[in-house]
């Protein structure tokens, strides 16, 4: 297949829009005699006038050769070998060799499960094969540093012009190969303002139950990408219309359609707007606060039901969280750290509703205090100001008692890995994999009005403007299979 070549004068991508690190990688590969293309979501975003989060490169150079060209490079991945080229400041450019699109039955390098999911795929190919094997046409564009032109094998430029999201190949087959593509379709459509092409959408509806077969840890990562998409209102609408929300959060979806009240709907809409506002300001809330804002109304509803049965308010919150976790973890593997943080945010509300110096002293310096105050202010805004007195008291107390530089995290002991014996029978060294949760924004900023500043906690998903899904679970970057490579570096 001959590609459509769009010359420099006919497209908006300028080298000034490309990161210096990506340009360095592209030029070194070119000077070594190899193809050097920007690929996938970064090209799509540049054409749409968006700022890519990551710049990913494809080439015909094998991984070993790529590694030899760069001093700070490492080969990662088992499912498909990639090279991470590292630069000062934490910048990483991912370089992948063109991948083959041979039929699975003719390709001994492709291993699939009984359900059609691709388990291993490590066959190199040509630029055309690499483009055609990607998930959606808009992710199949290349930018050639040699000619400054765009290479289009999938009629992607026409789809971008028409704002259409179209699956490459048979949608049912592509979704069965990797069910997470359905969530990617939702995210791309919402983020980029695209409309799913009819067959792409109908295939998603037919295959949506396949999403339950995906790794629950991987689905947690994808859920965070949805929450941090900057278009969460549109994402929630598409999840509802597609029925995927029933797969991810079945108990919440059932409550949403049944027992929820108009105020609960207002709560969720305002939570989505607040998280979108965070992203518009380039900020990311900790995962626990994201879950608290979005699901807080549902969790508090469950806690009220437990209180009506005679439970203590704190025990009622524990019961609500326990039920939510047990119903969700088999689908979306929420980490223990996140659940503990979420628990603290909600339990702290019982103290904040009755402010006192004693309660404040107990909360001073705790890592979750600022998040709990953000949640209290958010609840106050949604409920029409009924908690304004409590919010004012806590804000005044916070201003008079700034937190310590080292926040207190009593969860560290629970999260620390247990000692284990090595093979020689000795005592293994105890390692501390736990990270101190982040400082949250100063609570003087109104929740739901302005985006507070957050620092990302160690291991937390970075804010995602892209969508690379060619990462390996063990690679330290995210792995979706075979598509576009421009996403965060949160590993599974």
pLDDT exceeds 70 at position 117: no
C-alpha 200/C-alpha 452 separation (Å) is: 37
Confidence (pLDDT) at 258:
82
| Strand pairing class (82-86; 92-97) | antiparallel
Confidence (pLDDT) at 414:
58
Q: Strand, helix or coil at 56?
A: strand
Confidence (pLDDT) at 492:
31
Taken in order of first residue, the domains within the chain and their CATH numbers are: 4-160 (3.30.460.10), 163-248 (1.10.110.30), 251-415 (1.10.3090.10)
pLDDT exceeds 60 at position 488: no
Rg (CA), the chain: 24
Q: Which residues are catalytic?
A: 54, 56, 135
Interacting residues of 397 by C-beta distance below 8 A, sequence separation 6+: 355, 360
Counting residues of the chain whose pLDDT is more than 90, the rounded percentage is 68
pLDDT exceeds 80 at position 382: yes
C-alpha 285/C-alpha 294 separation (Å) is: 12
Q: 332, 219 in Cβ contact below 8 A?
A: yes
Looking at per-residue pLDDT, the higher value among 79 and 305 belongs to 305
Confidence (pLDDT) at 123:
81
Confidence (pLDDT) at 419:
58
> Model confidence at 451, in pLDDT bands (50, 70, 90)?
very low
Confidence (pLDDT) at 114:
52
Q: Scanning the structure block, which residue is given the tokens 């304004």? A: 388
Confidence (pLDDT) at 315:
96
pLDDT tens digit string along 385-398? 889 999 999 999 99
Report the chain's mean pLDDT, rounded to a whole number: 84
> Model confidence at 480, in pLDDT bands (50, 70, 90)?
very low
pLDDT exceeds 70 at position 476: no
pLDDT exceeds 70 at position 449: no
Q: Which range, of 126-130, 266-270, 278-282, averages the lowest pLDDT? A: 278-282
Q: Scanning the structure block, which residue is given the tokens 């709990």? A: 372
């Amino acid at each position: 297949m001959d590609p459509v070549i769009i010359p420099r004068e006919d497209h908006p991508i300028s080298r000034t829009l490309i990161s210096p690190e990506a340009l360095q990688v592209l030029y070194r590969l070119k000077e070594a005699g190899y193809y050097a293309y920007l690929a996938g979501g970064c090209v799509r975003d540049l054409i749409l006038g968006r700022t890519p989060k990551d710049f990913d490169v494809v080439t015909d150079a094998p991984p070993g050769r790529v590694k030899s060209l760069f001093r700070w490079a490492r080969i990662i991945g088992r499912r498909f070998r990639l090279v991470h080229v590292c630069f000062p400041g934490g910048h990483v450019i991912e370089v992948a060799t063109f991948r083959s699109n041979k039929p699975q039955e003719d390709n001994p390098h492709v291993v699939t499960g009984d359900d059609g999911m691709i388990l291993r795929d490590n066959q190199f190919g040509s630029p055309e094969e690499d483009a055609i094997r990607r998930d959606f046409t808009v992710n199949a564009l290349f930018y050639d540093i040699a000619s400054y032109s765009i290479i289009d094998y999938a009629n992607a430029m026409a789809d971008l012009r028409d704002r259409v999201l179209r699956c490459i190949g048979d949608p049912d087959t592509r979704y069965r190969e990797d069910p997470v593509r359905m969530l990617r379709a939702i995210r791309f459509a919402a983020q980029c303002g695209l409309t799913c092409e009819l067959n792409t959408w109908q295939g998603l509806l037919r295959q949506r139950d396949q999403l339950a077969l995906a790794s629950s840890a991987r689905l947690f990562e994808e859920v965070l990408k949805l929450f941090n998409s900057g278009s969460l209102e549109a994402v929630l609408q598409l999840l509802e219309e597609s029925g995927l929300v029933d797969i991810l959060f079945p108990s919440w979806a059932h409550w949403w359609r049944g027992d929820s009240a108009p105020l609960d709907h207002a709560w969720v809409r305002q939570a989505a707007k607040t998280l979108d506002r965070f992203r518009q300001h380039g900020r990311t809330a900790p995962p626990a606060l994201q879950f608290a804002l979005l699901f807080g109304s549902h969790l508090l509803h469950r806690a009220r039901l437990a209180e009506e049965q005679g439970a203590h308010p704190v025990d009622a919150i524990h019961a609500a969280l326990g039920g939510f976790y047990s119903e969700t973890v088999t689908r979306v593997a929420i980490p223990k750290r996140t659940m503990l943080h979420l628990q603290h945010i909600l339990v702290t509300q019982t103290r904040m509703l009755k402010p006192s110096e004693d309660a404040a002293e107990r909360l001073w310096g705790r890592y979750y205090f600022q998040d709990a105050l953000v949640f209290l202010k958010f609840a106050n805004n949604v409920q029409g100001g009924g908690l304004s007195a409590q919010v004012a008291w806590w804000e005044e107390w916070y201003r008079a008692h700034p937190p310590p530089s080292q926040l207190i995290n009593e969860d560290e002991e629970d999260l620390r890995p247990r000692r284990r014996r090595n093979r020689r029978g000795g005592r293994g060294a105890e390692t501390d994999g736990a990270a101190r949760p982040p400082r949250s924004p100063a609570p003087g900023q109104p929740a739901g009005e302005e985006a507070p500043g957050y620092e990302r906690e160690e291991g937390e998903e970075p804010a995602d403007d892209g969508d690379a899904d060619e990462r390996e679970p063990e690679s330290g970057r995210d792995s979706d299979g075979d598509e576009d490579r421009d996403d965060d570096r949160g590993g599974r």
